[in-house]
Amino acid sequence: MRRTLTTFRTLVAATILTATVGASSTSFAQQTRDGLNPTGQNPTAESVNEEFLFKQDPKITGRISIPDGKAAHLIQPAGRDYRDFRERWLPWLSALAVLGAVALLGLFYFFRGRILMERGPDTGRKILRFNGFERFAHWMTSSCFIILALSGLNYIFGKRLLMPLIGADAFGVVAQYAKFSHIYLAWPFMIGVALMLVLWLKDNIPNKIDIAWIRAFGGFVGDKHPSAGRFNAGQKMVFWMVIGFGSAMSVTGLMMIFPFALTDITGMQLMQVIHALIGIAFIAGILAHIYIGTLGMEGAYDAMGSGKVDLGWAKVHHDLWVEEEQAKNASGPQLGRHQVPAE
Amino acid sequence: MARMKFLCDADRCIECNACVTACKNEHEVPWGINRRRVVTLNDGKPGERSVSMACMHCTDAPCAAVCPVNCFYTTADAVVLHSKDICIGCGYCFYACPFGAPQYPKVGNFGSRGKMDKCTYCAGGPEPDFSTIEYEKYGSNRLAEGKLPLCAEMCSTKALLAGDGEMIAQIYKQRVIKRGYGSGAWGWKTAYRETVAI
Amino acid sequence: MKAFIIALVVAVALGTLAAMLLNQQQRFAYQAFSTSGARVSDPAGHSNLVGPHWNGVTPDPEKPSKS
């Protein structure tokens, strides 16, 4: 009895085993047919591909075994867009802004001419407008600005204008030093902008007088001179342009001096675009400032040249400021006496 | 003349980094400068693929276009090379490069990061072929010896292909037809504005 | 005029100072992108791949050391 049971058990086990092996061997034969994966899956079904990854993100990023995080970006087609901006749009935009500003100023000079000083009872007497420290802050910022503007334009126009003239090798050297000056003189420029903000902020808060000044077109049109304090609305606009553009240039510039410190490749491209666009607008704006401060208006340059302006000119252009100064200083605004600086 | 290209068959790349090592050794590239690198996508997930990437020697190369000193030039074999004498290390080429190829010897600030270095397709630079100065600046010039880039030559699975664009595209097509799948020629659309049509 | 000349001198001085400071914090790629396992200098330092505190003795296999 027991023996029969054992035999039966063995038989059942053998049958099951044979059946299993048979079944599995047939399926094995099916799976190893040429071109098919043993697991029965298509290996491409799960594999990543470019189109799929570009649908998720404009750049393809993976894992990298080297400690340079930038290298993890496999493909970033946005580089082509950045190139389009820099090579197709930027040269034309900058040429338009810079040459356009020069042309407009030329037209203004041609039609309006130099704004001459009006002779009056106070002509010849002087009043201190900017003290030594104010002039120092102005000239430090402005001399740096001129170098920064020229070396900045060199990044755009150097290879188009200067390189054909002096040759590739000489231009390489010039561009290298232009780059050094751009990086290093950016620092005194930033300090200068900060100094000017501290020095002149309180005189540049917009107020009601400015609206009247703008309504009268600042006296550029017609013979009447609208009232103005220490700075008229036009000068305030220059001040706020310098502060606004200056700080925007500083922030984007610092991001570019320390590349990839705070942002990735997309951020760096954006910083470069902003820096370039604001840069050319800044240059155009400062060209107007240089024009009106030197050639455009007689007597204006003295404010930053010697610091002392003609009292008659000051009474015409900055009447409220002169009143304030004279009230502050009972001994009168004449020079040669001890006096409180215009600040 | 051939139109030299790279093609990485991601279905074959096993991320052994031999191409990276071969490149470093052949050109004595310093540590930290990666002319070639292997990026793993979907790491640790099903469908993971690795792609070996270097300068793709693009058609109408963006780096060459944005360079403010025009230090790039394209050889007769369509290899994009540059002159380290003219380069000012401004880094614009890195912003424009779709493949992150340009490398700089110094890290930190923009001021003095040194001359840009990138894959030369083992074709040296503007200096005379096989000169010491060429080797020091750009590495060896295998192309002038009639050899292909070492990274592709010694790829253990022949995932990385280098050579004439049409020829390597043909090899890749045959592979895809034979095995029935392929994740595509990575970067070709961006670099050459074309894909390998199967 | 005096303020102008002082401004130029100070601008150049500040620029030079900035150049010096910026160059001081500049690192080579092999310094910036190296890890503790990387040997980028003298191979006689015996710190390659085994960390800087390796004493040259192979650890006893029965007492696995935390390294």
User: 3-class secondary structure for C9-62?
Assistant: HHHHHHHHHHHHHHHHCCEEHHHHCCCCCCCCCCHHHCCCCCCCCCCCCCCCCC
Given a contact cutoff of 8 angstroms between Cβ atoms, the answer to whether B111 and A257 are in contact is: yes
Answer yes or no: is pLDDT of B10 > 60.
Answer: yes
- Touching check for C37 and chain A: CB below 8 Å? no
- Touching check for A69 and chain B: CB below 8 Å? no
pLDDT tens string A309-320: 988 888 888 889
Closest CA to B143 of B158, B162, B157: B162
B60 contacts: CB under 8 Å, gap ≥ 6? none
Please report which confidence band the pLDDT of residue B47 belongs to, taking 50, 70 and 90 as the band edges: confident
Answer yes or no: is pLDDT of A301 > 60.
Answer: yes
Look at A115-124, B75-84, C13-22 and tell me which has the smallest mean pLDDT: A115-124
> What is the torsional sign of CA A213, A217, A218, A219?
negative
User: Cβ-count burial of A152 within 10 angstroms (0-12 exposed, 13-18 middle, 19+ buried)?
Assistant: buried
pLDDT value for B188: 92
Cβ pair B112:C23 closer than 8 A: yes
pLDDT (mean) for A140-146: 95
Q: In chain A, what percentage of residues exceed pLDDT 70?
A: 81
B160 SS3 class? strand
Answer yes or no: is pLDDT of A59 > 60.
Answer: yes
Which among A6-15, B56-65, B129-138 has the top mean pLDDT? B56-65
Cβ pair C40:B111 closer than 8 A: no
Look at B4-13, B81-90, B185-194, C33-42 and tell me which has the smallest mean pLDDT: C33-42
pLDDT (mean) for A106-133: 87
In single-letter form, the type of residue at position A243 comes to I
Answer yes or no: is pLDDT of A287 > 90.
Answer: yes
In eight-state DSSP terms, residue A22 is H
pLDDT tens string B161-182: 999 999 999 999 999 888 888 8
pLDDT value for A34: 57
Cβ pair B66:A83 closer than 8 A: yes
Answer yes or no: is pLDDT of C66 > 70.
Answer: no
pLDDT value for B145: 92
- Tell me the chain C residues in contact with residue B109 when contact means C-beta distances shorter than 8 Å: 22, 25-26
pLDDT tens string A84-98: 999 999 999 999 999
pTM of the model: 0.83
Cβ pair B32:C26 closer than 8 A: no
pLDDT value for A343: 45
- Residue among B34, B46, B97 minimizing CB distance to A66: B34
Rounded to the nearest integer, the mean pLDDT of chain A is 84
pLDDT value for B183: 85
From B20's Cα to the closest Cα of chain A, the distance in A is 11
| CB neighbourhood size of A71 (10 A) | 20
pLDDT value for A337: 43
From C66's Cα to the closest Cα of chain A, the distance in A is 24
- Residue among B30, B109, B111 minimizing CB distance to C29: B30
- Touching check for B96 and chain A: CB below 8 Å? yes
From B114's Cα to the closest Cα of chain C, the distance in A is 10
- Residue among B95, B181, B183 minimizing CB distance to A268: B95
Answer yes or no: is pLDDT of C35 > 90.
Answer: no
More confident residue, A21 or A97: A97
pLDDT value for C58: 55
Cβ pair A257:B109 closer than 8 A: yes
- Touching check for B105 and chain C: CB below 8 Å? yes
Look at A15-19, A145-149, A171-175, A323-327 and tell me which has the smallest mean pLDDT: A15-19
B53 contacts: CB under 8 Å, gap ≥ 6? A74, A75, B8, B36, B37, B38, B39, B99, B100, B101, B186, B187
Please report which confidence band the pLDDT of residue C1 belongs to, taking 50, 70 and 90 as the band edges: confident
Answer yes or no: is pLDDT of B131 > 70.
Answer: yes
Given a contact cutoff of 8 angstroms between Cβ atoms, the answer to whether A278 and A252 are in contact is: yes
pLDDT value for A161: 94
Given a contact cutoff of 8 angstroms between Cβ atoms, the answer to whether A126 and A310 are in contact is: yes
pLDDT value for A29: 42
**Residue B116 forms beta bridges with which residues?**
none
B37 SS3 class? strand
Given a contact cutoff of 8 angstroms between Cβ atoms, the answer to whether C29 and B31 are in contact is: yes
Closest CA to A74 of B5, B193, B99, B93: B99
pLDDT value for A336: 45
Residue entry with tokens 């704004």: A115
Look at A15-24, A74-83, A257-266 and tell me which has the smallest mean pLDDT: A15-24
Please report which confidence band the pLDDT of residue A333 belongs to, taking 50, 70 and 90 as the band edges: very low
Answer yes or no: is pLDDT of A137 > 90.
Answer: yes
Q: In chain B, what percentage of residues exceed pLDDT 70?
A: 99
Answer yes or no: is pLDDT of A69 > 80.
Answer: yes
Rounded to the nearest integer, the mean pLDDT of chain C is 72
Q: Which chains touch A (3 or more CB pairs under 8 A)?
A: B, C
- Touching check for B34 and chain A: CB below 8 Å? yes
Cβ pair B31:C32 closer than 8 A: no
Cα angle at A284 between A279 and A290, to 5 degrees?
120
CA dihedral of B25, B28, B31, B36, whole degrees rounded to 10: -60
- Residue of chain C with shortest Cα separation from B30: C30
pLDDT value for A297: 87
More confident residue, A100 or A221: A100
ipTM, 2 decimals? 0.91
Look at A293-297, B147-151, C4-8 and tell me which has the smallest mean pLDDT: A293-297
pLDDT (mean) for A250-264: 91
- Touching check for A261 and chain C: CB below 8 Å? no
| CB neighbourhood size of A322 (10 A) | 23
- Tell me the chain C residues in contact with residue A143 when contact means C-beta distances shorter than 8 Å: 7-8, 11
More confident residue, B156 or B46: B156
In eight-state DSSP terms, residue A219 is G
User: Cβ-count burial of A260 within 10 angstroms (0-12 exposed, 13-18 middle, 19+ buried)?
Assistant: middle
- Touching check for A140 and chain C: CB below 8 Å? yes
Q: Is A302 left (phi over 0), alpha (psi -120 to 50) or beta?
A: alpha
A148 contacts: CB under 8 Å, gap ≥ 6? A181, A182, A185, A186, A189
pLDDT value for A27: 44
Given a contact cutoff of 8 angstroms between Cβ atoms, the answer to whether B186 and B168 are in contact is: no
